Structure 1
Amino acid sequence: MLMAFTLHKGLLEPVAINAAEDLIADILWVDLINPTEEEREWVRIAYQQELPSIDDLYEIEATSRFYENDDGLHISSYFLNYADQSSTNLSAAFVFNGDRLFTLREEELAAFRLFRLRARKGLVNISSPKSILIGLFETKVENLADMIERIAADLEVTGSQVLGNAETDDMESLLTDIAQQEDIIGKVRISMVDLQRMLYLLLRSGMLNAELSERLRDIIRDSESLIAHTSFLFDKIKFLLDTTLGFINANQNKIIKIFSVASVVFLPPTMIASIYGMNFKFMPELDWQAGYPFAIGLMALSAVAPYFYFKRRNWL
């Protein structure tokens, strides 16, 4: 899909694109989502612009995620898509060539969708393609901050459940919840660290004016505070994970203790039964009229005595 926008009185206005001829000179932002080869060809014809492939967006080397060549300045940054406890970091490419911004990604992202909505309503300050880039990064930080707040709230609920269900069998499901929350906050941190690296490189490039540079510094400060908050959440997740595993081990130890006590309690009666089950010819109790009830009573006494002894020592 290919979308294009012009700037009119500070508002983004979409332009319908059905052929290369529709990509006019006034367009300042060309936004491509998993473009077809035909749409790529339109961009080549209209602007002589080569775009990176989708696979190129996921190169992890710093020199592959921020570089400049004959096709302009190339920036790649991770954007987190989050929905229903599942999350994926998708890489988006930004290409500056002249006075035009090209963006490319494999699927729609919440930050882009929200930014377009705000820009069309005049809720963001847009004056150039570079301001669009800064606005997208600002929206990205807002989305990540919202995700962190949501995860923090989920962890509060999980923490209450962990501490309130220490004696129940729900710990395994809580362990799954904690693992999912750790996975999400890890992806948030990856996205935030990647953004911070791109922002520092962009700031040092000297391509921004004073106003945009100051907005960029604000984003950097926000990202630093959010990264610090993710560290706190990681510590909390580790605490909840250790606590949950501790409760699981404690509950398992209780079960093992019950079996251990049961084996000790029934060991003496088993020994007595084994003795009187021997097939020796001369056993005094064989001819004794009270021998059977005596053996039964002895087995019962040998089972009850250890139980009360363990109870008195608080081992049960």
Structure 2
Amino acid sequence: MTGSPRPARLMDGTALARRLTDETTAAATALHRRTGTTPCLATVLVGEDPASVTYVRMKRNRCAQAGIRSRHLALPAATSTARLVDAIGELSADPDVHGILLQHPVGPHLDERAAFEAIAPAKDVDGVTTHSFAAMGFGLPGFVSCTPGGIMRLLDEYRVELSGKHAVVVGRSAILGKPAGLLLLGRDATVTYCHSRTRDLPSLLREADVLVAAVGKPDFIRGEHLKPGAVVIDAGYNPGNTGDVHFASARERAGLITPVPGGVGPMTIAVLLAQTVRAATRQLGLD
């Protein structure tokens, strides 16, 4: 990759997500015509955090637009881990539910990992269970974490060659940073994980052919930190529609870059919808 005096080309997640959702809508319609079954996504929300309420409403609206039925379970903020696990277990056992989404983060008094593990692997369309994580790591059939899955689709759409390239992932969360690195490794990239204990982060960033920023700090990575011509995936979303990458300075140095909003975000929901229809298809024995 070489630098260019022109600003980086934008990776349009909105347009790609729209195309993927159109394909998902067609698949859901075809499945209903063939079997009489409408794919169903169950959303689970604990408490009334405004951002979480908004995210769940958005996902349910997108389901309706894509021909996917949604079922919503709202639990009070004081819900115990045992009650949450039981509720998710009931959804896992319900044949009319094909995918389950637990909106996270849940309250600090809850064992989020225990709740995730209550999701049946066949219905883990958000890719949050250890079963799904292992499948990503070993390249086995399963459901990918939605944001990393969306990132990979963006990289493919823009024909980013990954084999032999150095990919740097800043962030190590179980649903974003870690699985993103696994998926990149599975495509033969050399992957470096960076986090709060990483020493001399700027020097590692300058070696990155592909950078995935998922640290949750606004404008944390700036243009001067980047290798000229790098592919920059900003998976951060902070108040004020600000990503983890300082967009103006990064665009002057990168070769490709995702905007915030309009980059990774739309892809996350599009992958969730696609995996819900795939889950329904598999559960009906048609995949």
Q: TM-score range by the shorter chain?
A: under 0.3
Calculate the TM-score normalised by the size of structure 1: 0.22
Question: Larger relative contact order (C-alpha < 8 A, sep ≥ 6)?
Answer: 2
Specify which structure has the higher proportion of helix.
Answer: 1
Give me the TM-score of the superposition, normalised by structure 2: 0.24
